[in-house]
Structure 1
Amino acid sequence: MPPSILVLTSLAGPAEHVVRTAALLTAPLRPHLTLLHQCATPVLAPELAEVLVNQATDQAQAAVALEAMVHHLPFPVDTTVVAAVEALPEAVANAVRRYQPLLLVLGLSQEHHPFGHLPHTQAQALLRTTHRPLLLVPEQPAPLTKLPRRIAIAVDAEEFTPNATTREAAALLQAWQAATTVVHVVVPGEQQAFPGQRALANVHLSRLLPDQPLELYEESGVTPAAGILQAVVDTQAEVLVLIARPRSFLGRLFHQSVTAQVLRHATVPVLLLPAAAPEVPDWMPNLS
């Protein structure tokens, strides 16, 4: 059975660009893409029959438009178009339960429509509720036309363990066979000795990638977000991979996190890979 990829789409904004990028980057896995389109629904209406007719019309038009979009892609893609009238969290939760996707794909855009614009609070909610990798596609000046030849993985010097869904999605990274640079930005007060080398070793130990040479890009004197974005430019990376630690799912911390800052200025697709929560020793008190 081919792996499932859930693409959140909108007829407004760069929907075709998002679908094209999702299809291209996941092509080595020969996946099935489910295009989830959210149809707008009036909150109040004088006649329920009119609301139902409008919903049916919106869903039918969305299905036709998205199917036509897929047919215009330069390569064949196995897809299903699904229309949803629920709010975003409920629509995604239902789709995840039904299709069990390997990862979710969303667009990063300045346009304000349900799936084309991704507020950081929505990214936080999706990570917290699905614990699945997210591929975020910005409006690029030069969209990808082939599989990435170079990728960058930005990590700190702390150990991390991929969660179950990230371990499954690692097959995608391995299928790209791209040259990989590990990016580490030294922060003031960092206690680890040789933090860049520890970051490099942690990526090796994570087994996200097959045994292959990894380059190290280390930066200091800048903020982590600025260092990561500069590393993407300097290494000519075509995809950026970030590890989403469980602590980034909590409250306001996400808004101040490196991930949120990078997403605001990303010019290449960003793959967020959730890490597993660290194990708590038996003697540790439960403070929840």
Structure 2
Amino acid sequence: MPAPFLVLTDFTAPADDALRYAAALAQPLGAALVLLHIRRESLLDPDAFMGKIRHLTEGEVAAALAERTRELAVPVTVEMTADSIASAVADAVKRHRPSLLILGKPDTQTTPDELVSSTTLTLLRATRTPLLVIPAGSPMAVPPQRVSIAADGHSFSLKPQTEAIRDLLGQLQPTLTVVHVVEPEDRDDCTAARQAVLQSGLTTEVPQVATHGVRHLRIYQGILQGAAETHADLLLVVARRRSFLGQLFNRSITSQVILHGRLPLLVLPALE
């Protein structure tokens, strides 16, 4: 049986969207879900930093979990904990070994970048597991038919935890496009970027990989532009070790794509 998807919920609308996306993605793959609610903390919720979180009783939490799982067409294991986000997610990953960690992201345009980035950084640090972020209001094309992969032309190796993503792409057989962004005065040739993706083994199970070059002054905006121009319904980015462990995460391209992207975003942690 395929590894399950670990879905985080705080009972907000974006979290509910993420749960629906996870169930729709899991069904054709034969995967189960683990739905985790972390009490007393909110995921990517600006109210968490302003003392406005509503504290639910155990009965209210149980009722909310039951309401959200009652009509799902895939097997679901429900858990709740009062640990910190990092500890709770790390423990769940250790016990269930999920192929994906999935969460919803509210509209953060009015939220300081540092708050959103720090939460994402915490999850990547705690799990090193592929992270699927579902922004509020993003299109719900599930399973995805067109996937864009952002690549910079530098070689990368993926962690063993990402092998399930290669298999997932093989099962779904989406249209894959490598998006490569350069500054306006440079050549937007994608040969090196495509070769880096192929050598990583990520696309081994997909026979055709197209390319799309974009010229833009800001790399993250170019990536988002390329995803739009290729009509992607899922954007995949590779987070290098320095991006999610370093102190400059808030300035990284991966972080900016997470902050400002409107598409479902799959973040894969690299070895280096």
> What TM bracket, shorter-length normalisation?
0.7 to 0.9
Query: 1:134 aligns to what?
Result: 131
Match of 2:45 in 1: none
Match of 2:193 among 195, 199, 224: 199
Using a 3 Å threshold, how does the CA distance of structure 1 residues 2 and 142 change in structure 2: closer, same or farther? closer
* Aligned-residue RMSD, C-alpha: 2.3
Task: Give the secondary-structure state (helix, strand or coil) at the position aligned to 1:14.
Answer: helix
Quick one: distance in 2 between partners of 1:194 and 1:69?
46
Letter in 1 for 2:135: P
Distance 1:149 1:254, change over 3 A: same
Q: Which moved more, 1:60-69 or 1:252-261?
A: 60-69
Label 1:86 to 1:172 Cα distance change in 2 as closer, same or farther (>3 A). Answer: same
Closer, same or farther in 2 for the Cα pair 1:194/1:38, shift >3 Å? closer
Runs of 4+ in structure 1 over 6 Å off = none
In structure 2, what is the equivalent of residue 257 of structure 1? Answer: 252
Partner of residue 97 from structure 1, selected from 94, 98, 119: 94
Q: What is the distance in 2 between the residues matched to 1:15 and 1:72?
A: 16
Tell me if 1:275 matches 2:259: no
Amino-acid identity (%): 37
Tell me if structure 2 keeps the 8 A contact 1:3–1:29. Answer: no
Q: Name the SS for the 1:161 alignment partner.
A: coil
**TM-score w.r.t. length of structure 1:** 0.80
- CA distance change for structure 1 residues 168 and 148 in 2, over 3 Å: closer, same or farther? closer
**How has the CA–CA distance of structure 1 residues 141 and 104 changed in structure 2, closer, same or farther, with 3 Å as cutoff?**
closer
Distance (whole Å) between structure 1 residues aligned to residue 189 and residue 249 of structure 2 = 23
Match of 2:107 in 1: 110
Q: 1:221 to 1:68 in 2, by over 3 A?
A: closer
Write the distance in 1 (CA, Å) between the matches of 2:95 and 2:59.
Answer: 21
Number of positions where the alignment pairs a residue of Structure 1 with one of Structure 2: 252
1:34 corresponds to which letter in structure 2? V
1:245 and 1:28 mapped to 2: Cα distance? 30
Assess if the C-alpha contact under 8 Å between 1:39 and 1:58 holds in 2. no
Q: Deviations over 1:200-222 (max 9, x none)?
A: 11111222122422111111233
| Residue among 115, 120, 128 paired with 2:117 | 120
What is the TM-score of this pair, normalised by structure 2? Answer: 0.85
**Gapped runs of 5+ residues in structure 1?**
42-54, 112-117, 278-288
| 2-structure distance, mates of 1:167, 1:2 | 12
Q: State the alpha-carbon separation in 2 of the partners of residues 28 and 184 from structure 1.
A: 31
Per-residue displacement from partner, 1:75-102 (whole Å, max 9, x unpaired)? x111011111111111112211221111
SS at match of 2:144: coil
1:1-39 deviation line (CA, Å, top 9, x unaligned): 441211111112322211011122233331121111012
Q: Which range moved further: 118-127 or 28-37?
A: 118-127
Deviation at 1:226, TM superposition (A): 0.8
Of the candidates 150, 155, 158, which is equivalent to residue 154 of structure 1?
A: 150
Q: Which amino acid aligns with 1:10?
A: D
CA drift at 1:253? 1.8
- Give 2:50's aligned residue: none
Instruction: Tell me the distance in 1 between the aligned counterparts of 2:12 and 2:244.
Output: 29
Q: Which runs of 5+ in 2 are unaligned?
A: 42-54, 109-114
